[in-house]
Amino acid sequence: MTATPTTKERIVLAYSGGLDTSVAIGWIAEATGAEVIAVAVDVGQGGESLETVRQRALDCGAVEAYVADARDEFAEQYCMPTLKANGLYMDAYPLVSAISRPVIVRHLVAAARQFGASTVSHGCTGKGNDQVRFEVGIQTLGPDLKCIAPVRDLALTRDKAIDYAERNNLPIATTKKNPFSIDQNVWGRAVETGFLEDIWNGPTKDVYDYTDDPAFPPAPDVVTITFDQGVPTALDGRSLSPLQIIEELNRRAGVQGIGRIDIVEDRLVGIKSREIYEAPGAMALMAAHRELENITLEREQARFKKTVDQRWTELVYDGQWFSPLKKNLDAFIDESQKYVSGDIRMELHGGRATVQGRRSDTSLYDFNLATYDTGDAFDQSSARGFIDIFGLSSKVATERDQRVQGLESLDDVAPLSRQD
């Protein structure tokens, strides 16, 4: 599509199709005098079609509507790197929202270039992580672009949004607010606010959508996941795309109640926040990938990769997807996955994804070295010398300690009194 020439300033808005961003179109236009271009990006969040969302944006006053089906892009270029990095923030959260923001940012900047916009807008509040992720990404990919947030910068509150929509007859429902704030995509679902903000309260069943109650599971489901260089390529021998694999495991692991996470999370802005996540496909894939790494990565390589994985995860959580350090860590992680190929057999049942079998042509597991039975190829006579050398530095240090402590104990003994 060719942009229409205009003398007015243009602002690109990250558009979800919901009440807040629908109202934001007119709100921004009135507050700034600029024309608004709505940008909707499908990363597997479900719901309405892109065409429906596009038409609503135009009906709400957008001068242009840019829509993109980015599901495969998201799965291949964002979910798969996260899987290879075993990306679990605080050892629990699989970066559901954090990895969707950079793909949306790419499309926001592309739309700004296409339609001649000078500013990019998003719907985040001033106390969350996403404002950082959006704006750091935008200023990295488009250093000349400005950023505004209607909720944070233009006083667009929920009650004002409902009133504005009703006064202007916008084609959007203004029903009572859902008690939860929800963000979802193909990698998982994030739920917060409402009664969950009291961290003593347990989640009720209406919190969940991607997963069924693990206390009442169907029969166990055994799945074999095939990997090639750290990326899943097939389920049960059927070649599938990354998106198809995530979607199928979301269904199969979801009915088993796998991937429910309840965490008090350290936000980037310095506060702690209670979050509920559902990521059945992601968590099943993580468990399989880690187990395949266990048999294909050399010991010291695996130990160091854990440090790299953690730093990679922190950078992505903090909105640094496009940073130089993250790119450097990508290079290490990609190299480490050269031999992470093979099959993992897992049982999905009752909230757990349990590895039952492993096989790989590039495995470092040697049966003849590992066995204790006849045919053992390990030379046990080498062990004594290895132990002597391995423990030598500690032995020498202990001898030093004993020697020094012995001298110090002599200094502590009071001299005998001399009898005249």
Q: What is the pLDDT of residues 276-293, one digit of tens each?
A: 999 999 999 999 999 999
Strand order across the 188-192 sheet: 181-185, 188-192, 272-278, 260-266
For residues 209 and 102, membership in a common domain is answered with no
Q: Are residues 212 and 135 in the same domain?
A: no
**Residue 50 and residue 173 in one domain:** yes
How many Cβ atoms from other residues are within 10 Å of residue 374's Cβ?
Answer: 5
Kindly report, residue by residue over 163-204, the tens digit of the pLDDT.
Answer: 999 999 998 876 666 678 889 999 999 998 889 999 999 999
Question: Does the pLDDT value for residue 412 go beyond 80?
Answer: no
Residue 173 shares a structural domain with residue 43: yes
**pTM, entire model:** 0.91
Is residue 22 annotated as involved in ligand binding?
A: yes
Q: Tell whether 343 and 242 lie within a shared domain.
A: yes
Contacts for 173 with CB less than 8 Å, ≥ 6 apart: 19
Segment among 50-64, 168-182, 245-259, 310-324 with least mean pLDDT? 168-182
Range of the domain at 257: 188-297+339-368
Does 388 qualify as catalytic in the annotation? no
Is a pLDDT exceeding 80 seen at residue 254? yes
Under 8 Å between Cβ of 66 and 58: no
100-115 and 130-141 helices, crossing angle to 10°: 50
Residue 352 has pLDDT above 90, yes or no: yes
Is 418 annotated in the active site? no
Q: Which of 134, 153, 177 is the last residue of a domain?
A: 177
Q: Are residues 15 and 95 in the same domain?
A: yes
Establish if 328 belongs to a structural domain. Answer: no
Residues 119 and 264 in one domain: no
Do 282 and 165 share a domain, yes or no? no
- Catalytic option among 72, 118, 181, 183: 181
pLDDT-derived band at 408 (thresholds 50, 70, 90) equals confident
Residue that finishes a domain, picked among 157, 177, 197: 177
16 and 146 part of one domain: yes
Residue 396 lies in a domain: no
How many structural domains is the chain composed of? 2
Tell me if 130 is assigned to a ligand binding site.
Answer: yes
Whether residue 288 is contained in a domain is answered as: yes
Annotated binding-site residue? 18? yes
Query: Are residues 140 and 256 both part of a single domain?
Result: no
For residue 79, the 8-state DSSP code is I
Is position 211 within any domain? Answer: yes
Please indicate, yes or no, if residue 350 is contained in any of the structural domains. yes
Q: Is 341 a catalytic residue?
A: no
End position of a domain, from candidates 177, 200, 222: 177
360 is in an annotated binding site: no
Query: Quick check: is 107 in a domain?
Result: yes
Is residue 124 a part of any domain in this protein? Answer: yes
What's the CATH code of the domain at 238?
Answer: 3.90.1260.10
Q: Are strands 272-278 and 260-266 parallel, antiparallel or unpaired?
A: antiparallel
Residues 107 and 55 in one domain: yes
Give domain status of residue 169, yes or no.
yes
Closest CA to 42 of 100, 113, 121, 109: 100
Q: What is the CATH number of the domain that holds 96?
A: 3.40.50.620
Residue 265: other Cβ atoms inside 10 A: 19
133 marked as part of a ligand binding site? yes
Tell me, what's the pLDDT at 418?
56
Catalytic-labelled residue, pool 10, 121, 130, 212: 130
Over the chain, what is the mean pLDDT? 93
Active-site residue, selected from the candidate residues 10, 101, 106, 352: 101
14 is in an annotated binding site: yes
Residues 49 and 193 placed together within one structural domain of the fold:
no
- Asked about 290 being catalytic, the answer comes back as no
Report whether pLDDT(5) > 80: no
Q: Which of 20, 212, 309, 318 is catalytic?
A: 20
Which ranges in 75-143 belong to alpha helices (H)?
Answer: 80-84, 100-115, 130-141
CA dihedral (305, 309, 311, 312) positive or negative: positive
